[in-house]
Amino acid sequence: MKRNIVFVINYFYPDYASTGQLLTELCLHIQHDFNITVIAAQPGYAGETNDTGKRIVRDRLENIDIIRIRLPKVDKQNKLSRLRYIATYFFYANLMVMKQKNVDFIYTISQPPILGGLIGTIGKVLKRAKHIYNIQDFNPEQAEAVGYTKNKLVFKAARWIDTLNCKWADHIITVGQDMQQTLRKRFSNQKITNNTVINNWTNEQEIVPLRKQHPKVAEFIEQNGLKDKFIVMYSGNLGLYYDLENLIKITNEFREVKDLVFVFIGEGAVKKQMQDYVQQQQLSSKVQFLPYQPLENLKYSLNAADVHLVVNQKGIKGVSVPSKIYGVMAAGKPVLGVLESGSEAYRLIDESQCGVVAEPQDYEEAVKQLHYLYNLTSTQLAAVGKQGRTYLEAHLRRDLSLEKYRELLLSM
């Protein structure tokens, strides 16, 4: 008999958020093994608007039942706006969990911060279900790293609550080896909840290396005025945890390198700040901002780049893994990582030799490493990128991670 599993995951198909894409693929992969209900926000990650005025909308994707919650519009730079959004989600997500019948498993992720896991803890107690807690980011450690608030009492309370979520969970899944150290620290070397490391992934059969001459790649380049340019690309969330508001300043160091351009694709809390800097420094011919690309076009935009930026703020090691690394490696593109030594993405770049790395906030080193990549021949650059693809095919394939999830859930 198939077990009933409720995923409470905020973002889900067709949202652009990376966690939404990953969890959609996971649910599709296990839909014949479990009866699945997904509780998620109505799409809006990339600024989409929802026409329906209903608070709760029911939907379906293949064999998966979806309950979508309409949430207030969020201004990511406004803390009160974020809190209203999160509080509304937390209330209605709990309400929807309570309305589910015969729940065997509740699967939550660490978003919204702390409260994602707390939904699972509450559900476990009240629904007598097993809780699987998938930690994509450790909070409040992540918020603390970027100085989101200086209130130490808030951090202490938040860490206590999320450590409780970890202790009460039946199984914890983290997405990087470096995150195990943070988990051990949470438990102060006491007995830790059963846990597994399962890497995030990309669809490496969909995202494949393509030459710039490929018609669709060439079309993207032509449409955005990037012909004959050396393209340094960042594709993903322009959010609080990447130091992009400071990293944007390295673009000024390449003002005189006529054929080198920076392209930032995505949305997020610091996008306006980045745009303001570009405008103030009169760098609009050097730096472009583009919206999220439709998922079906992602492989073409990724392949338009000569080098991809994969970055994290200082203090994020062991707390979060930038999942864009998988798409870049799948596309066979060289990486300029701005990452802490020993972090998961740093390890992947180091082991695969698919790029170069500078420490966060060492902007001088980031400039130096980008000059190094720029001065490689096209053959040398392609060889560096190819090493990432080779490593990914051996160790980070989508089917490997999906099967690990499936076997784990079935074993429970």
3-state secondary structure 150-203: CCHHHHHHHHHHHHHHHHHCCEEEECCCCHHHHHHHHCCCCCCCCEEECCCCCC
Could you tell me which residue, 74 or 212, shows the higher pLDDT? Answer: 212
Determine how β-strand 64-69 pairs with β-strand 56-61.
Answer: antiparallel
Integer Rg of the chain from CA = 21
According to DSSP H, which parts of 31-178 are helical? Answer: 79-99, 115-127, 141-145, 152-168
Is the separation of the CB atoms in 369 and 358 below 8 Å? yes
What domains are defined for the chain? 3-200+397-411 (3.40.50.2000), 215-395 (3.40.50.2000)
pLDDT value of position 46: 47
The tokens for 200 are 């995030």
So what's the pLDDT on residue 190?
Answer: 86
Distance, in Å, from the CA atom of 349 to the CA atom of 387, rounded to the nearest integer, reads 10
Helix (H, G, I), strand (E, B) or coil at 353: coil
By mean pLDDT, which of 47-51, 397-401, 402-406 is the weakest? Answer: 47-51
Grade residue 82 by pLDDT with cuts at 50, 70 and 90: confident
Q: Are 144 and 315 in contact (CB under 8 A)?
A: yes
Say if residue 391's pLDDT is above 70: yes
pTM above 0.95, yes or no: no
pLDDT (average), residues 65-80: 86
Report the alpha-carbon distance of residue 25 to residue 31 in Å, rounded. Answer: 10
What span, in angstroms and rounded, lies between the C-alpha atoms of 27 and 22? Answer: 9
- 């989508």: which residue's tokens? 398
Tell me if residue 356 falls in helix, strand or coil. Answer: strand
AA letter at 386: K
Percent of the chain scoring above 90 in pLDDT: 83
Range 10-17 average pLDDT: 87
What are the pLDDT digits (tens) for 299-342?
999 999 999 999 999 999 999 999 899 999 999 999 999 999 99
Please check the confidence at residue 16 and state whether its pLDDT lies above 90.
no
Q: Hey, what are 19's tokens?
A: 């966690």
Distance CA 246, CA 239 (A): 12
The DSSP 8-state label assigned to residue 148 in this structure reads: S
CA–CA distance, 91 with 369 (Å, rounded to integer): 47
The 10s digit of each residue's pLDDT in 117-166 is 999 999 999 999 999 999 999 999 988 887 766 778 988 999 999 999 99
Does residue 76 have a pLDDT over 80?
Answer: no
pLDDT at 44: 64
Please tell me the distance from the alpha carbon of residue 331 to that of residue 382, in angstroms, as a whole number: 11
* Model pLDDT for residues 168-225, shown as the tens digit of each residue: 999 999 999 999 999 999 998 789 999 999 999 999 999 999 999 999 999 999 999 9
What's the pLDDT band for 53 if we cut at 50, 70, 90?
A: confident
pLDDT, averaged across the chain: 93
pLDDT for residue 145: 81
Q: What count of Cα atoms within 13 Å lies in the side-chain half-sphere of residue 132? A: 21
